[in-house]
Amino acid sequence: MAAPDPRTLEALGLAEIPREHPLSYPGAWPEESGLLDGDRLLPLGRLVYEDRVPVLAVGSNACPAQLRHKMAQSGVSGTIPLVKARVGGIGVGVSAHVSLMGYVSASPFHAPGAVGELFLTWLDEAQLAVVDASEGVPEATGAYDRAWLPSSASGVRIELDSGEFLPGAHVYVNRHGVLHDGAGVPRTHPGERPLLASLLAGSARLRELFGDTPEKFCARARFDAELCARGTRLFAEEGLTTASGLERYAKTGPSS
């Protein structure tokens, strides 16, 4: 009897899909760079792929199970290099909108001086179209724009394990802005359950719409477009939103 494959997403603890389990958002990220190949995460032979588009993932697009799910639903190849990078100038904030998937997602904001580890997804043309569609980029009412962040102008620095710096990368910027911490500073995304608990505790109107627990929030929001839109409007009406500081880079720079 063959030994279990240690490289499967299940074996690595990376199999849960945030789109199916909203409170798990943003999902489990790998511990190191790897090549997503269907249901497996394999070692990478290189860190830069000139024939692919580099896209920084700040939320569930760094979760292999979420990427696999998106590609499988569209019948597109699920072979995607995921490269861990040291990124300066970007913070992981909270989108100022309620997703149809039942969660409040992550969104980047300009954070001079901040440094953290994020994943680069190197996408081919078909994969990029799938992720664009999942973020609402082609739609007038979609939640995100895809922005090109040039390192030379944006102050964003992307360093690979090799010591190489990339000239820039794409990232998805929320059209509604991000939520702030009460003092106008973008708040960081702590994970879905603590985020929803905090938001619900701070807003009676939000509790009226979505219930008083994270579980109720996800259940009510999931696939209810009208309710999600009302929740998104409520964020703005209650003065909880601010600009990400990345809006000027949307729809600019190198194309796909």
CA distance 236 to 238: 5
Number of domains the chain is built from: 1
CA distance 18 to 61: 10
Domain-embedded: residue 237: yes
Closest CA to 36 of 5, 65, 76, 56: 65
pLDDT, average across residues 56-79: 98
The dihedrals phi and psi of 5, each to the nearest 5 degrees, come to -75, 115
- Tokens 């003092």 locate to 183
Domain with 123, as residue range(s), is 22-249
Domain-embedded: residue 130: yes
CA distance 228 to 194: 19
Residue 26: asked if its preceding bond is cis (omega within 30°), the reply is yes
Question: 78 near 38, Cβ under 8 Å?
Answer: yes
Domain-embedded: residue 11: no
What is the structure's pLDDT at 256? 43
- pLDDT tens-digit readout, 80-106: 999 999 999 999 999 999 999 999 999
pLDDT, average across residues 127-133: 98
Domain-embedded: residue 3: no
Count CB neighbours of 215 within 10 A.
13
Domain-embedded: residue 232: yes
The enclosing domain of 124 has a CATH number of 3.10.490.10
- pLDDT tens-digit readout, 223-237: 999 999 999 999 999
Domain-embedded: residue 190: yes
pLDDT, average across residues 179-185: 96
Domain-embedded: residue 202: yes
Domain-embedded: residue 55: yes
